[in-house]
Amino acid sequence: MHGLTGGGERTYQFGHRGEKLARVALSRELTAYVGARIAAFAEESPPTHLWLSRFVAQFGALPLSLGWFDTVGLKSDGEIIEWSTEDQYEGMRPVEDRYHWLSALVDGTRRYPELRAVLPNRPANAVDCRHLAHPLFAEGKVLCPECCGLGWVEAEGGRTSVEG
């Protein structure tokens, strides 16, 4: 794989077929934590998530965000992937869309608070996201497409500091 550095704590790597891979920098402790959560997923999961155990074992990724047709997960090397839970496509694939990977990380911190360390830090020029005034966004029922659930955006560009 060849590496390129992206914005903030995110890097892009290109796989053997040239696809862009989303990856976050994990400390040694977080690498071990994610690996342990993957290994113990079937034992630690609530009953409503046990059906994901076969995907976790198959793809070696911790589920962060469950969608209608796919799941976004984090591998212990920091790669962010997705897989179809409804046979929309086979195997796993990299997550490239900024909203998709960042909102999945934000969503994942609800179940795994230790992952907050990989979220971007709020910069000095950040302002509260304007969508927090809407009850669905304020309560976290829906993650905002501008701030991805972080609750802030940079004042000049209106986007979070981690671009993708």
| pLDDT score of 142 | 76
Amino acid identity for residue 35 in this structure: G
Amino acid identity for residue 58 in this structure: Q
Mean of pLDDT values over 62-83: 93
The span from the CA of 47 to the CA of 79, in Å, is: 26
pTM of the model: 0.78
From residue 125, give the alpha-carbon distance in Å to each of 25, 101, 110, 147, 163.
24, 23, 26, 14, 16
| pLDDT score of 97 | 84
The span from the CA of 99 to the CA of 149, in Å, is: 9
The span from the CA of 17 to the CA of 83, in Å, is: 18
DSSP one-letter code for 110: H
Instruction: Say yes or no to pLDDT of 6 above 50.
Output: no
What the block records as the tokens of 55 is 């995907």
